[in-house]
Amino acid sequence: MPTTPAPQAQYLDVGGLRLHYLDWGNPTAQPMVLLHGFTGHAHTWDTFAAAMCERFHVLALDQRGHGDSDWAKDGAYTVHDHAADLYAWHEQLGLGPVLLIGLSMGGRNAIAYTAQHPEKVKKLVIVDVGPDIDPRGAERVRRMAADAPEEFRTPEEAVKYLKQTMTHPSEAALRHRVAHGLKQLPHGMYTWKYDKALREMRRQRISPQVDLWPAVRQITLPTLILRGADSDVFALETAQHMQACIPGSQFVEIPRAGHSIPADAPEAFEKAVREFVTAP
């Protein structure tokens, strides 16, 4: 029987932070870099990465403050902080131009990075995010982070909590998110892996925002814009305006998907991305 692909956990020191990433092998192939969303982690991409790693060198990064990467000591979590991490990480790995795919927060970071360093990106995929965030989704995401319990007795409690705030992903997808998104504390309880400072920012309604429309207008390389048809974060009008701003860009709406398209509609997501990245 064929073996299921599995990534290797790797670490790299970048600007005083130890960043964790998953390397899915195939190092001589075209590199593909995956950036997760807010409160997520590199394992967000496991299903997609396993499907793509035979053809591409897939690398999924835990961005600062998330997953198994270090937390920023000074609470520096702007788009530009993340883009600077990505540049240093990219440089240290000696990668050529990459296929860059970013979901939500990772998509905003990918926009900034591509505008700043177009020579580093071969093709860009922006997943359900833009410079303007739909207020409905912004408030839901804020509540999800701000109101989330700090600790759980069991991972099952965390799954039950996420079911209340994320209605589109399957139960298996939610369990996968929790399995890689919690850590056990010395007294036996479980807590989220992402930085508590990020939750506190949401509680206080402090969110480091950057106007990304100028960055969007600087992008000229092949770009795919994906929107979940049921998304409450990425308004259709914003997606259409982005497409008009980026010459030759493509826009695809994924049916029966909300904001977290890779978890909500994994097959449709893979099909749309594969067609785009393999096209001449």
pTM of the model: 0.95
Mean pLDDT of 89-99: 98
In a domain, 140, yes or no: no
How many Å apart are CA 206 and CA 152, to the nearest integer? 25
Q: What is the CATH number of the domain that holds 36?
A: 3.40.50.1820
The total of structural domains in the chain comes to 1
Q: What is the pLDDT of residue 5?
A: 85
Q: 224-256: per-residue pLDDT in tens?
A: 999 999 999 999 999 999 999 999 999 999 999
In a domain, 163, yes or no: no
Q: What is the pLDDT of residue 104?
A: 96
In a domain, 69, yes or no: yes
What are phi and psi for residue 235, nearest 5 degrees? -70, 145
In a domain, 94, yes or no: yes
Q: What is the pLDDT of residue 1?
A: 42
Helical residues (DSSP H) of 53-170, grouped into ranges: 79-93, 105-116, 135-146, 155-165
Mean pLDDT of 108-132: 98
Would you tell me the crossing angle of helices 155-165 and 135-146 to the nearest 10 degrees?
Answer: 160
Confidence of residue 148 (pLDDT cuts 50, 70, 90): confident
In a domain, 171, yes or no: no
Domain range for 256 is 8-134+209-278
In a domain, 77, yes or no: yes
Residue closest to 63 by CA, chosen among 122, 103, 92: 103
Residue with more model confidence, 172 or 169: 172
Answer whether 45's CB lies under 8 Å from 16's CB.
no
What does the DSSP assignment read for 178-208? HHHHEEE-TTS-EEESS-HHHHHHHHTT---
In a domain, 111, yes or no: yes
Q: What is the pLDDT of residue 207?
A: 67
In a domain, 149, yes or no: no
Which residues are bridge partners to 121 per DSSP? 98
Residue with more model confidence, 160 or 138: 160
Encoding tokens for residue 118?
């177009």
Percent of the chain whose pLDDT exceeds 90: 81
